[in-house]
């Protein structure tokens, strides 16, 4: 800072004029993002393939809170369990809907309205049987791919153009067994891979919030061989 900047700072402080990065009344509020992990509430669903969305947001919260020497506390709020973290000046509201999967849109709409979240600041973390197990992909929008949670979110929001982070489950099941497959547990060899994958999803979500979806897609999708689109 040179002498002229110093004089300007003293002048604006003395006159009460807002400085750069401020507005009247103080510093501008942090940008807010809603990060939604899809899944089903209840002990019978813990650890199931369909609940990998919950595990992605759990891992994200843990990655930030452990660095700060604290545990994650989820609040039981309307339509879901909520916790908040901050990442380099961004506020992330993490949501695990308690509506069950096929009514997820109710929770997403409520918390977007409650927190005044714009659509480009919404990211939904979801399981995907259309990708091989452990493959990750971020997209800015698109079809629901037969996923009931994504389908309901699109119905409620009136658009399919919201970002989603997909975690591949694979499709190693016979015709008619899809429900049993997604509500089943991961076998031990796949379970062992999940912590490393959720580290990657945590990093991708942070990039989404800090640098935008294109950068997050470029980094994540190319690594997993799914392209940048």
Instruction: Give the residue among 200, 193, 190, 196 at the shortest CA–CA distance from 226.
Output: 200
CA–CA gap between residue 202 and residue 123 (Å, rounded)? 12
Would you say 127 and 163 are in contact if contact means Cβ atoms under 8 Å apart? no
CA–CA gap between residue 169 and residue 64 (Å, rounded)? 26
Reduced 3-state DSSP string for 29-79: CCEEEEEEECCCCCHHHCCEHHHHHHHHHHHHHHHHHHHCCCCCCCEEECC
- Active site (catalytic) residues: 50
CA–CA gap between residue 184 and residue 206 (Å, rounded)? 29
CB atoms within 10 A of CB 176: 7
């Amino acid at each position: 800072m040179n002498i002229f900047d110093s004089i300007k700072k003293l002048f604006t402080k003395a006159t009460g004029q807002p400085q750069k990065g401020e507005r009247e009344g103080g510093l501008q509020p942090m940008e807010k993002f809603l990060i939604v992990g899809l899944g089903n509430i209840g002990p019978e669903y813990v650890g199931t393939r369909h609940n990998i969305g919950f595990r992605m947001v759990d891992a994200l919260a843990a990655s930030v809170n452990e660095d700060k020497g604290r545990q994650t506390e989820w609040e039981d709020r309307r339509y879901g369990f909520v916790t908040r973290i901050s990442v380099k000046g961004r506020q992330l509201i993490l949501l695990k809907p308690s509506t069950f999967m096929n009514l997820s849109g109710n929770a997403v709409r409520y918390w977007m309205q409650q927190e005044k979240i714009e659509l480009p600041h919404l990211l939904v973390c979801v399981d995907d049987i259309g990708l091989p197990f452990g493959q990750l992909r971020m997209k800015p929008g698109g079809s629901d791919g037969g996923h009931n949670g994504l389908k309901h979110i699109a119905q409620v929001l009136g658009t399919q153009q919201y970002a989603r982070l997909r975690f591949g489950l694979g499709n190693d099941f016979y015709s008619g067994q899809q429900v049993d497959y997604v509500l089943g547990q991961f076998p031990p060899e796949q379970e062992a891979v999940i912590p490393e994958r959720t580290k990657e999803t945590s990093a991708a979500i942070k990039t989404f919030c800090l640098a935008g979806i294109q950068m997050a897609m470029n980094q994540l999708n190319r690594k997993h061989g799914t392209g940048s689109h």
